[in-house]
Amino acid sequence: MRSSDQVHRIKRKFPRKAFRKKVGLMSGGQSASAQGLEIGEGGLSFSSDMILNQNCKMILSFFLSEDEFFSVRVTLLNSYRAGQEFHYGVSFDDVSIALKRQIRTYVARTSVDSRNLN
Residue spans per domain, the chain: 4-117
pLDDT at residue 3 greater than cutoff 80: no
pLDDT (mean) for 43-59: 93
Q: Give the end-to-end CA distance of the chain in Å, rounded to a whole number.
A: 35
Instruction: Please report the DSSP string for 60-95 in residue order.
Output: EEEEEETTEEEEEEEEEEEEEEETTEEEEEEEESS-
Strand, helix or coil for residue 117: helix
pLDDT at residue 68 greater than cutoff 90: no
CATH of 4-117, one of 3.20.20.70, 2.40.10.220, 3.40.50.300, 3.40.50.1820: 2.40.10.220
pLDDT tens string 8-45: 445 667 778 899 999 999 998 899 999 999 999 899 99
Nearest to 63 by CA among 95, 20, 101, 111: 20
